[in-house]
């Protein structure tokens, strides 16, 4: 288990759990607490990681010794596979997120890692990205409540706003805004110093979500991956998405295949962002949005292209 994760005390009962360096599966999470009341933002990719986080939160504040409410920002496993450790909590997410809850269960991830030795270069990539996580023995723990659009909650005396901004990264992305502390937990709407990955789109929704986060004028933003940021981080992600959208469109209009477009786009400064190979997923999703007539690449083809770029 990595030992560089840390709990950041943001003040006023707000905490961020940060997992450097934010690469594949190393997601952030958070805690909103007031008095004896607590709201957990996301769990982690496996039980050891989630338990370590919960223990650190419980040491930091008595409110975290029993989690009252859990909000899952989306259905990717690195933000929800640890739910069973707080299975007695009220678990909330968007309706769209709940609908895709079982699309990539822990057992599928375990099988992919187990088979990676027979998968050649793709398997090397899979092991590097996911081989450190313990997917066996996980019991998927789905939400108990869903909402659409917006849901206002209170944690003790703190007002908390759940705002649905998906589909973007996934089908039903949710951000969590604590107005009185000027804090936002964004889930995977924001990857800081890392490359966003657009499983769902449309890209316009994601761009609008970044601008919405900036308009809320937060002092501290806890991204889904990477270090703490502020509005500059939200706008940097927006600018990446705009750039990739525009570059992909040029190549789509020129008749390039997805693979050729991926290899042709010069990432410039964005090539220094972690996991830049995710451009393969982003171009594939954009081509689908543009109305690409060719057969869409399957999951293994996309992972193969990412493995090629990562080499």
- CATH for 6-242 is 3.60.15.10
Position 293 scores a pLDDT of 92
Going across the sheet that includes 150-155, the strands are 150-155, 158-164, 174-178, 183-185, 220-222
Any residues with CB less than 8 A from the CB of 81 and at least 6 apart, and which? 43, 44, 45, 46, 50, 106, 135, 138, 140
Position 295 scores a pLDDT of 87
| pTM of the complete model | 0.97
d(CA 138, CA 296): 31
- Other CB atoms within a 10 A radius of the CB of residue 181 amount to 18
183: three-class secondary structure by DSSP: strand
User: Which residues are registered as beta bridge partners of 161?
Assistant: 152, 177
Position 310 scores a pLDDT of 95
CA distances for 138 relative to 46, 80, 96, 256, 284, angstroms? 7, 11, 23, 42, 31
Q: Which residue has the tokens 């039980």?
A: 47
CA dihedral 80, 222, 164, 134 (to 10 degrees): -10
Kindly list the domain boundaries of the chain, sorted by start residue: 6-242
Task: Provide block-wise average pLDDT over 10 residues at a time, the chain (311 residues).
Answer: 88 98 98 98 98 98 98 98 97 98 96 96 97 94 98 98 98 98 98 98 98 98 98 98 98 97 97 98 98 91 96 88
Q: Which helix (H) or strand (E) holds 31?
A: strand 29-34
Residue 191 buriedness (CB in 10 A; 0-12 / 13-18 / 19+): buried
User: Contact 161/176 with Cβ under 8 angstroms?
Assistant: yes
Position 1 scores a pLDDT of 55
230: three-class secondary structure by DSSP: coil
d(CA 223, CA 226): 6
Residue 303 buriedness (CB in 10 A; 0-12 / 13-18 / 19+): buried
């Amino acid at each position: 288990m990595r030992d560089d994760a840390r709990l950041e005390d943001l003040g006023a009962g707000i905490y961020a759990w940060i997992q450097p360096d934010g690469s594949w599966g190393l997601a952030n999470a958070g805690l909103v607490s007031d008095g004896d009341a607590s709201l957990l933002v996301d769990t982690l990719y496996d039980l050891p990681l989630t338990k370590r986080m919960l223990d650190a939160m419980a040491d930091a504040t008595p409110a975290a010794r029993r989690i009252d409410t859990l909000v899952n920002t989306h259905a990717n496993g690195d933000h929800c596979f640890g739910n069973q450790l707080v299975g007695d909590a009220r678990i909330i997410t968007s309706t769209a997120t709940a609908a895709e809850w079982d699309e990539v269960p822990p057992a599928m991830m375990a099988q992919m890692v187990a088979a990676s030795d027979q998968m050649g270069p793709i398997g090397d990539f899979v092991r590097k990205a996911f081989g450190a996580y313990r997917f066996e023995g996980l019991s998927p723990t789905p939400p108990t409540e869903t909402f659409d659009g917006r849901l206002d909650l209170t944690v003790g005396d703190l007002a908390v706003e759940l705002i649905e901004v998906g589909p973007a990264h996934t089908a039903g992305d949710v951000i969590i805004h604590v107005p009185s502390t000027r804090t936002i937990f964004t889930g995977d709407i924001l990857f800081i110093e890392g490359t966003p990955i657009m499983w769902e789109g449309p890209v316009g929704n994601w761009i609008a979500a970044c601008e919405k986060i900036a308009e809320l004028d937060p002092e501290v933003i806890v991204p889904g991956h990477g270090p703490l940021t502020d509005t500059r981080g939200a706008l940097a992600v927006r600018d990446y998405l705009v750039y990739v959208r525009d570059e992909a469109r040029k190549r789509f209009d020129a008749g390039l295949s997805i693979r050729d477009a991926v290899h042709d786009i010069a990432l410039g400064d964005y090539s220094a962002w972690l996991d830049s190979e995710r451009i393969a997923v982003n171009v594939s999703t954009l081509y689908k949005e543009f109305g690409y007539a060719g057969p869409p690449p399957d999951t293994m083809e996309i992972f193969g292209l990412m493995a090629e770029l990562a080499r």
